[in-house]
Chain A
Amino acid sequence: MELIFEISKPGRNAADVTASDVPAVNIEDAIGKKYLRTDLDLPEVAEVDLVRHYTNLSRRNFGVDLGFYPLGSCTMKYNPKVNENVAVLPGFTGLHPYADDESAQGNLQLMYEMQKYLSNIFGMAEFTLQPAAGAHGELTGIMMIKKYFEKKNEKRPLILIPDTAHGTNPASGALCGFETVTLRSNSEGGVDIDHLMSLMTKDVAGLMLTNPNTLGLFERNIEKVAQIVHGKGGLLYGDGANANAFLGKARPGDLGFDVIQLNLHKTFSTPHGGGGPGSGPVGVCAKLVNYLPVPRIIKTGHSYSWSGKFPDTIGRIRSFYGNFNVVVKAYTYIRSLGAEGLTHATEMAVLNANYIKEKLKPYFDLPYDRVCMHECVFSGKRQVAQNGVHTTDIAKRLIDFGYHPPTIYFPLIVPEAIMIEPTETESKETLDTFCDAMIAIANEAKENPQRVKDAPLTTPVSRLDEVLAARKPDVCWKRS
């Protein structure tokens, strides 16, 4: 498809500017010539061409509304339409962030209640909604841990991270000045307790644990893990990326987690927008409350206000109050489902994942064969051994069957990993036809491997040369 620049023609535009109702001023006099630009090379297209351009682009994109999107660890559940409708109410979209508190009582109430709901759901003392995404929440959580030890005058330069962890965990630790130490998994896919005991010293600030982990498995020894970490004065950090597995069933605060970050765009159904906006609230136990980012909402009687007066705070991690409009959608979701609905959603998410696991088990290697939580992880090892069909080939072939591929090659400890997260919003029929497609591909891999290796066959472009893209990076179009 042509680029917007390639369909541009001088003299056109798709948005006009209202004529001035005040006197024009001489710009050179008002601003000064040296401060003015002389070029402005933006696309020039008529409205109809603009709309067709982007509409055609949208047709080359796959979203949850088009079909099943079992991208592991991303919780691509259906995004309810009513949430989109209420989020664009002018009362929510129209307010300036510096509107006085009295004018923003609705927004403040919503955010305050959201913090209370999340505190209740996760068993934490308090939440902040300021982080803009999950990784931003991780950073915030780790900063609070850093502050906690700083206040206690303890030097703890290390942080433990399991080998199954998302890449954001070690990166967040490093962005906060910690040195990361890798913690091994045991044969069941859980934390290797002996290894944890040997690593957990007074130099270690804490452990960043995802539970259930990225194998989709619940950490059975969670109580022991928490005891070991807390026993040495460390803190237990929870990556809530997989929270869709336990909502209404167990609470991280009860399990011993001191900090947890969420992803509203996963667990609480807000659409991911092709890569954001997300929202990454962080919950803390009582001893970390003072370190939360500012400003925080204070409720006095029936009125709400912002306050920055928390001397031990880590400070601000974003301008204003976070991705407010994303919070509106997640709040709406919680209100729609209610307590029982959220719990039932968890149950159906876990049932769906186990159903897929059982149906595909005969056809793909299952490295950890136990009841899984919200996602299951297969390995494509067998297909590689048979005919050299790799997981990436299987993923690309799934596209031809009308599905978004699962997460692949993650977690890193599973070779040729295929990580499938169906979520609760998918019906038995959808799962059945998806499994049929996976089985058909497993058969193709045996009988007609080249077809799988050539996939996808139905997309506007075939497999792209990523090596070329990285070797000769072209990240901005240049007029030739």
Chain B
Amino acid sequence: MDYYPHTPDDIAQMQSVVGIASIDELFADIPQKFRLKSVLDIPAALSEQETIAAMSGIASKNKLPQLTLTGAGAYYHFIPAVVGHIVGRAEFYTAYTPYQAEISQGILQAIYEYQTMIAHLTGTEIANASMYDGASAMAEAAVLCAKMSNRTKIIVARSMHPEYRQVVNTYSWANGYTVVEIPYAPSGQIDLNALQNELDDQVAAVLVQSPNFFGVIEDIVPLTDAAHNKGALLVAGFTDGTSLGILQPAGASGADFVVGEGQSFGNPLNYGGPYLGIFAAREKFMRRIPGRLVGATVDKNGKRGFVLTLQTREQHIRREKATSNICSNEALCALAAGVYLAALGKNLRKLAELNIYKTQYLKNKLLQLKGWKEVFSAPVYNEFVLRCPDARLANEKLKNEGIIGGYELHKDYPELENALLFCATEMVSKDDMDKVVAILK
């Protein structure tokens, strides 16, 4: 199947207008020695019917689980039908970045509304139109803090998602910054004393996550105070966005930036992407933050309209002096997030409560198993860590029943041998959880 509408007659007429006798003449600028003599070594074309058969064949090689008890940065939530219908509108999904505002009011207004919802949810004043994902949003926030302060040290909580820490490391290495990891306390929260010992006048930013990778809720206020006392900025992430429906957002506790993964808001798991990075900040940083920003303005008749604004921060205007190199973001995922949040409204709190109920139920049930113990003492949202006699064996048993078990923490934390990170969202029923416990008995 192909998608060019040219008939042989069209091609002949067009060649004559262009003044060429053969298509080859169009490629005369490519030195002869470099011109491909043979066709590419990729499979032959497929009809639409064959394409669907081939792709269905590949998709069916994946084994979808009956049940997933792993979150760890990607969360299985129910997605209301309206979300798919709206993001499936071709007026949205077949558009480019809204450079021409007059015929892009739809996506511009939708993003403005998204920015508003995100700023409110995170307890900040402003949010951008999205970043690539939670991890790169965290890394860009770290780089921004270093650039603004001319400091070169970045402090990262060890309780932050391991992949986020890796991305922060990569971006920091590229800019010549030092990254220092702060251990977690027995509570599962960041070790405040260790943080205070490490804070000096070279620290640009303190990066934490709440809930953190262990599901544990951090106490943001003392962290903000500690960072600010040394002139550093506090960047607070989060894991599952639905936690913002019930937890005090870091922005309300004084964080300078709140960044994180927005996938939970109406975006499917998709084996890791596309997702969207949420990037929210205090108003004073508005002219320094990376990414697109939609702003409200008026047209010449005084009618409200929306444009991409403060573009002098951006690469296409400022080039090497830009605040970031980001160009495409994750607009359609942000649209999905906006529709999701508008659909739930105040029910987001109810959903968050339900996640807490399920999580407490699962945790208490698993704790009844012989040899299963809690690892951390601080409160959690919808994830928690338990140590069990044999984590690999437990997961193997669950896998045999089509269940993805807990995330095995020893892969990233050698000190947490046999510790499993479980997640229970609204998608896990009581019967499911009872079954899990029965399997593990």
- Complex Cα distance, B98 from A469, in Å, reads 15
Determine the chain B residues whose CB is within 8 A of the CB of A442 once the complex forms. none
Whether B176 pairs with A134 at a CB distance below 8 angstroms is no
- Contact with A174, one of B93, B111, B320 (Cβ below 8 angstroms): B320
Determine the chain A residues whose CB is within 8 A of the CB of B78 once the complex forms. 18
- Contact with A358, one of B18, B54, B381 (Cβ below 8 angstroms): B18
**Quick check: is A14 within 8 A (CB to CB) of the other chain?**
yes
Whether A89 pairs with B56 at a CB distance below 8 angstroms is yes
Contacts A3-B109, A61-B106 known; A344 to B360 CB distance under 8 Å? no
- Measured between C-beta atoms, what is the minimum distance from A191 to chain B in Å? 13
Whether B120 pairs with A32 at a CB distance below 8 angstroms is no
Contacts A43-B342, A339-B39 known; A277 to B330 CB distance under 8 Å? yes
- Contact with A464, one of B96, B101, B135 (Cβ below 8 angstroms): B101
- Contact with A47, one of B27, B34, B82, B106 (Cβ below 8 angstroms): B82
Closest residue of chain B to A173, judged by CB?
A: B320
Closest residue of chain B to A66, judged by CB?
A: B91
**Quick check: is B28 within 8 A (CB to CB) of the other chain?**
yes
Closest residue of chain B to A223, judged by CB?
A: B31
Contacts A15-B347, A177-B176 known; A121 to B95 CB distance under 8 Å? no
Give the contacts of A42-64 with B (CB-CB under 8 A).
42-45, 47, 50-51, 53-55, 57-64
- Complex Cα distance, B119 from A206, in Å, reads 41
- Complex Cα distance, B244 from A37, in Å, reads 8
Whether A456 pairs with B133 at a CB distance below 8 angstroms is no
Whether A37 pairs with B248 at a CB distance below 8 angstroms is yes
**Quick check: is B21 within 8 A (CB to CB) of the other chain?**
no
- 1/0 contact string of A269-281 vs chain B (CB within 8 Å): 1011111111100
- Measured between C-beta atoms, what is the minimum distance from B254 to chain A in Å? 14
- Contact with B36, one of A168, A222, A248, A427 (Cβ below 8 angstroms): A248
A-B contact count (CB 8 A): 685
Stretch from A99-107, A197-205, A378-386 that touches the partner:
A99-107
Determine the chain A residues whose CB is within 8 A of the CB of B247 once the complex forms. 31, 35-37
Whether A338 pairs with B5 at a CB distance below 8 angstroms is no
**Quick check: is A450 within 8 A (CB to CB) of the other chain?**
no
- Measured between C-beta atoms, what is the minimum distance from A438 to chain B in Å? 15
- Measured between C-beta atoms, what is the minimum distance from B10 to chain A in Å? 4
Whether A275 pairs with B106 at a CB distance below 8 angstroms is no
Whether A167 pairs with B319 at a CB distance below 8 angstroms is yes
- 1/0 contact string of A439-467 vs chain B (CB within 8 Å): 00000000000000000100111111110
Determine the chain B residues whose CB is within 8 A of the CB of A410 once the complex forms. 316
Most buried by A among B110, B134, B245, B301: B110
Please count how many residues in chain B sit with their CB below 8 Å of the partner chain's CB atoms. 203
- 1/0 contact string of A333-360 vs chain B (CB within 8 Å): 0111111111111011011101101110
- Measured between C-beta atoms, what is the minimum distance from A446 to chain B in Å? 24
Whether B328 pairs with A265 at a CB distance below 8 angstroms is yes
Determine the chain A residues whose CB is within 8 A of the CB of B97 once the complex forms. 272, 274-276
Whether A473 pairs with B217 at a CB distance below 8 angstroms is no
- Complex Cα distance, B78 from A65, in Å, reads 29
**Quick check: is B370 within 8 A (CB to CB) of the other chain?**
no
- 1/0 contact string of A407-420 vs chain B (CB within 8 Å): 10010000000000
Whether A37 pairs with B252 at a CB distance below 8 angstroms is yes
Stretch from B124-132, B190-198, B201-209, B223-231 that touches the partner:
B124-132
Whether A54 pairs with B298 at a CB distance below 8 angstroms is no
Determine the chain B residues whose CB is within 8 A of the CB of A80 once the complex forms. 1, 3
Closest residue of chain A to B14, judged by CB?
A: A355
**Quick check: is A156 within 8 A (CB to CB) of the other chain?**
no
- Complex Cα distance, B411 from A100, in Å, reads 13
**Quick check: is A94 within 8 A (CB to CB) of the other chain?**
yes
- Complex Cα distance, B433 from A120, in Å, reads 48
- Contact with B332, one of A109, A173, A176, A274 (Cβ below 8 angstroms): A274
> Which 3 A-B pairs have CB atoms at the shortest separation, nearest pair first?
A320-B272, A91-B59, A273-B332
Apart from A42-B348, A275-B129, A279-B274, 20 more pairs, CB < 8 Å:
A14-B342, A15-B344, A30-B360, A42-B120, A44-B346, A54-B110, A91-B58, A96-B74, A166-B316, A173-B320, A222-B31, A248-B36, A272-B96, A315-B170, A336-B45, A350-B27, A358-B17, A459-B102, A462-B299, A477-B116
14 CB contacts below 8 A, A to B, read A36-B248, A37-B246, A43-B342, A95-B64, A106-B61, A133-B327, A179-B320, A273-B335, A274-B93, A276-B97, A278-B328, A321-B273, A470-B311, A473-B310
